[in-house]
Amino acid sequence: PLIFVLNGPNLNLLGTRQPEIYGSETLDDIEALCAETADALDLAIDFRQTNVEGELISWVQEARSHAAGIVINPAGYSHTSVALMDALLASDLPVVEVHLSNIHRRESFRHLSYVSRAAQGVICGLGPHGYALALRGIAGILAQSEQ
């Protein structure tokens, strides 16, 4: 099964962006970790990043007909985008939301994620490893739905 791994704004800057919060690993490092994890789980991934809200929404719509599940780090749009939440709700796919940082430990405006309302599971605070856990989560959901 193909899983879309979608990344929102500013995640292209990982490695140099506030490393005290987001760590020193780059998005390429995270993609490599996801590819390795997917391989072990017999999943295929399509790993993408955009700074544009509408593009994320179009990719979620594309996932409806092309993917079996979505792992998404919506970054700043987590806290603002009703439209992204709506697209995910419409997708009818298992969705796992990931944040590198623990959003609940940070500023109060980060405590609410609209996207969480469309997610089966949410992982935050574990850095890049959260992406690997999210893929495992999706694999588990898919295995269960096959039974």
> Is 88 within any annotated ligand binding site?
no
**Residue labelled with tokens 């405590």:** 111
Cα–Cα dist 12/14, whole Å:
6
Based on CB atoms, which residue is closest to ligand DQA, 68 or 78?
A: 78
In the bound complex, what is the minimum distance in angstroms from residue 71's beta carbon to ligand DQA? 12
In the bound complex, what is the minimum distance in angstroms from residue 144's beta carbon to ligand DQA? 27
Residues within the interface to ligand DQA (CB under 6 A): 10, 73, 75-76, 78, 99-101, 103, 110
Q: Which listed residue (22, 77, 114, 131) is catalytic?
A: 22
> Is 73 within any annotated ligand binding site?
yes
Query: What amino acid occupies position 1?
Result: P
In the bound complex, what is the minimum distance in angstroms from residue 64's beta carbon to ligand DQA? 23
Based on CB atoms, which residue is closest to ligand DQA, 58 or 102?
A: 102
DSSP string, the chain: -EEEEEE-TTGGGTTTS-HHHH-S--HHHHHHHHHHHHHHTT-EEEEEE-S-HHHHHHHHHHHHHH-SEEEEE-GGGGGT-HHHHHHHHHH-S-EEEEESS-GGGS-GGGS--GGGGG-SEEEESSTTHHHHHHHHHHHHHHHHHH-
> Is 136 within any annotated ligand binding site?
no
Based on CB atoms, which residue is closest to ligand DQA, 101 or 120?
A: 101
The yes-or-no answer on residue 131 being catalytic is no
**Which residues are identified as catalytic?**
22, 99
Binding-site residues for substrate, in ranges, read 73, 79, 86, 100-101, 110
Binding-site residues, in ranges, read 73, 79, 86, 100-101, 110
